[in-house]
Chain A
Amino acid sequence: EPEVTQTPSHQVTQMGQEVILRCVPISNHLYFYWYRQILGQKVEFLVSFYNNEISEKSEIFDDQFSVERPDGSNFTLKIRSTKLEDSAMYFCATGWWRDDGEQFFGPGTRLTVL
């Protein structure tokens, strides 16, 4: 059964460094999302992406964040200058229908900022 994959599974970085989190969507999916989950808290929406552009973004998704599909398959989330409070689990999700359709989540990347 096709699934969303994410790399790396765990990323440790120093505060101020740039990180890129990668996601490989299910092949026929058109809608892509990033969510984050700080330890012990609920999952929060970051951004949605469709037709090679951002559809929606939350207040969390500030200028330090960016997303792209550089090669038509991978979907990436870049954090330009990481802060301690960026430490969280980051989930990629993809779907073939619009935002209110089913979304399939990847296993997540645990980001630890020291």
Chain B
Amino acid sequence: KNQVEQSPQSLIILEGKNCTLQCNYTVSPFSNLRWYKQDTGRGPVSLTIMTFSENTKSNGRYTATLDADTKQSSLHITASQLSDSASYICVVSGGSQGNLIFGKGTKLSVKP
């Protein structure tokens, strides 16, 4: 069954600190992996998209990694800011229908 699992479920960090969020997937066939940021009550906003051949991609203070062999990805946030408080969702494009398969997200809270 095509699944995307994320950990931790939630995370609290102090402003200025770094953190890393994890994603494991079992999606076949695989097309690409995305990380989205979702503020409460809003639509997801794309942070990065990585294909099979890419193993790292950055977008400002966000750096995503992908290990297609172990089917794992991570999102590293550097020098966190209060505005980083949101849910971060790992999404894999693929499966038999080629649509997006979402993880449940990691809820990040950045405290002053």
**Chain A contacts to B: CB under 8 angstroms:** 4, 33, 35, 41-45, 48, 56, 58, 89, 91, 93, 98-100, 102-108, 110
Q: Chain B residues near A102 (CB, 8 Å)? A: 46, 49
- Closest residue to B101 on the A side, CB-wise? A45
Query: Main secondary structure on chain B at its contact with chain A?
Result: strand
Bound CA span A98–B98, Å: 9
Count contacts on B: residues with CB < 8 A to the other chain. 23
Q: Mark B16-60, 1 if CB is under 8 A from A, else 0.
A: 000000000000000110001000011111100100000000000
Total A-B pairs, Cβ < 8 A: 55
**Chain B contacts to A: CB under 8 angstroms:** 31-32, 36, 41-46, 49, 89, 91, 93-94, 97-105
- Closest residue to B31 on the A side, CB-wise? A100
**Are A45 and B100 in contact, CB atoms less than 8 angstroms apart?**
yes
Q: Chain B residues near A56 (CB, 8 Å)? A: 97-99
Q: Chain A residues near B49 (CB, 8 Å)? A: 102
**Are A43 and B44 in contact, CB atoms less than 8 angstroms apart?**
yes
Bound CA span A105–B89, Å: 13
